[in-house]
Amino acid sequence: MLADSLPKGWGRLPDSSRRILLQLLRFGPASRTQLTAALGLSPASLSRMVVPLLRAGLVVEGRPQYGRSGGSSDGEREAQGRPSIPLKAVPAAGLLVGVALTHAEVTVVVTDLTARVLASRTRPVETRSGVVDLDRAVADIAALVAELRTELTEVPGELIAVGVSMGGNVPDGRTVQRAPFLGWEDVPLADLLEHATGLPVRLENDLAALARAELWFGLGLASDRFIVVTIGIGVGYSLVVDRRVVVDADSGHGSMVGPLLDGLPQFSELEPGAPGLEEAAHRLGCLIGQASAFTFPQRALVAGESAHLLRGHEDALARGVAEYRHPLACELPVEIHETGFDFWARGAAVEALSWVFGES
């Protein structure tokens, strides 16, 4: 079981304690009163559930906060009543490994509990006849994890788990059912990596992992519904509704195919300033507009290794979105994140964190 393989303290945390910790990691310090309101817990239950977090060093108490209207003397403070003592998560109390695996390279990052990347490494992968060498990939990932572990010896937290993302279908989180860019089918990758690293491993489709990272530490902090569109080698799409990443057994096969992509170039083959980028941005906006017509997102994000190509073409992107929205509808905010493969690997680390929290 996962709980048996986690570092001391993590496996024994009650579910309610994990909810409190996640709330503090996502939204920052909060008083006990604020936490009871946000999580629907009674004050007595909250006090009980905070104890194991304090003992494990995952949460600490902040400085007492007095009322805004009070003075500075002890007598004036006493007149204000009992102070509020905020609770703060300790992000460095645990570390996650994120792995982004492509047909060309493997990127490994280590993040803290708020998905802040602390260190990263990248290596090219070895291929044979278009198939990524499995044994070499496993050995490289294990070696990169060991290197990063050594580099971060001054960070107090232990490595908790490994998340691995790729363009493929991994419905059980353990086996790569199909990853066409890697040339893999029915590969027990989680088992192989757990043996090589000594850490629990969770696999996920790269788009689903990226969407979860946005849900927990990005767009999801202010939005319940949003879409993520990625451009690079192909076009990817993921949907978050009611604070849940929408996934099923077919999620890893890719939903953006056929006529949906008419008029769109292979973005990974283009350079900034290339002819036709203005029209490509417009066509991508049309695709986002079509998606929004059926899913009613509050926001949209364009990311991926080719997202930088859209800089300077934001107006064309917005025109395309508007063509598929009612004239009286609110404008759909579209953010562009210029990202590299560290961004994908960070998503994999958040997927591992989600697994540890029992959310995936």
The closest alpha carbon to 189, from 272, 133, 228, 273, belongs to 133
Model confidence at 359, pLDDT cuts 50, 70, 90, reads confident
Query: How far is 164 from 93, CA to CA, in rounded Å?
Result: 21
Model confidence at 1, pLDDT cuts 50, 70, 90, reads low
Q: What tens digit of pLDDT does each residue of 279-304 get?
A: 999 999 999 999 999 999 999 999 99
Contact 140, 133 (CB under 8 A): no
Contact 63, 80 (CB under 8 A): no
Query: How far is 349 from 2, CA to CA, in rounded Å?
Result: 16
The type of residue at 302 is V
The structure's pTM equals: 0.89
Q: What tens digit of pLDDT does each residue of 308-328 get?
A: 999 999 999 999 999 999 888
Q: Residue 4: what pLDDT?
A: 62
* 169-198 average pLDDT score: 95
Q: Residue 89's beta-bridge partner residues?
A: 59
Rg over alpha carbons for the chain, rounded to the nearest Å, is 22
Residue 243 has pLDDT above 60, yes or no: yes
Q: What tens digit of pLDDT does each residue of 114-166 get?
A: 999 999 999 999 999 999 999 999 999 999 999 999 999 888 889 999 999 99
